[in-house]
Amino acid sequence: MGKKDSGDKKYYRVLNILNRLNEGPVRVADLSAEFDVSERSIQRDIERINLTGFHLDTPQKGTYTFAPGVSLTSFNLTGEQLSVLVLMREMAGGMGGAIKDAFDQVFERATASAAGDSPFYAVGPRALNPLTRKFYEDITFAIENHKKLNVRYASVNGVRERVLCPVKILASENFFYMMASADGREADKFAKYRVDRVKKLDILPDEFTPPPAEVVKKVIGMATTIWGVNEGKKIKVRLRARGAAADFLQSKELLPGQKVSKPTRDGAVLVSAVIRHPMEVVPLVLHWMPEITIISPESLRAEVAVRINAYLAGQKTEAAV
């Protein structure tokens, strides 16, 4: 892909302009020619930078420079701001790949302090198959320019090529997914493709008509996991939690539209939510059992029972070997 196609997408272009500003004045016309975008696009990038807090002066029309006392290396941060920045850096590190690289650049430019100076640390899994810069830039470009993608994808059913119309990049539990409709099918019917399973990806010259924003928003809904990004019917769920499970559910929204009752005398709470896929709840129940039980629906109780029985049967088989 050429320079215009590959990138210097908005996110990376803004970081590049910040670096130039740190070296001295920049001219909109020069940046427009270098990045092969309109002067209005560069102007919007400049506005983003200014609104972020890197205040700019205009010594002459079309030229910008950092205001006196502003620079990337001496950007003054309070202890609280530094802590938030470090926490975000740890989260970005868990995602790996292009996200980690980009945030490391932001962190390095925004503060001279070490990450260890912060009282915060994000505990969580680290990505083993991060989103590569190439896939990130190509998918982003295709979404922004409504370009179709030819993708070689390795699903559980094998590897095959397909033409997709991408609309979003989703991040869930340090995995990245491309939300897309299949070419030739209904434009408002979407599937999710895990990006680390993409073996090859090519941007096609063909364009597609993007779905209305409200359609995409409806599909994503109030999902709290990737399973919730689903056009399926809604399922009303009621749980009972006690002990540590009750405490956890009172402190964090783990289910879409989660509502928690006041604790009873024994500390138990009732939890209600509306899900779109059983796997939005099943891992939660298995993780916290026996301190969490399903009141309704019966079909969800049966789903959990099947999994527990299959696990116990497997344990017996292993013990007999």
pLDDT score of 203 more than 80: yes
CATH fold of 235-320, please? Alpha-Beta Plaits (3.30.70)
Q: What is the CATH number of domain 133-220?
A: 2.30.30
What is the CATH class of 3-66? mainly alpha
Q: What is the pLDDT of residues 278-312, one digit of tens each?
A: 999 999 999 999 999 999 999 999 999 999 999 99
Sign of CA dihedral 301, 303, 305, 308: negative
Give the distance from CA 23 to its chain's centroid.
32
Helices (H), 111-224: 133-145, 213-220
Domain ranges of the chain: 3-66, 79-117, 133-220, 235-320
Comparing 303 with 69, the larger pLDDT belongs to 303
pLDDT band for position 194 (cuts 50, 70, 90): very high
pLDDT of residue 291: 95
The CB-based long-range contact list for 303-306 (8 Å cut-off, 24+ gap) reads: 303/278
Give me Rg for the CA atoms of the chain.
24
| Residue with tokens 């050429």, as numbered in its chain | 2
- C-alpha–C-alpha distance, residues 62 and 205, integer Å: 34
pLDDT of residue 237: 97
pLDDT score of 5 more than 90: no
What does pTM read for this prediction? 0.66
Count Cα neighbours of 266 within 13 Å in the Cβ-side half-sphere. 8
Q: What is the pLDDT of residues 88-136, one digit of tens each?
A: 666 666 666 666 666 666 666 565 555 555 565 666 666 666 667 778 8
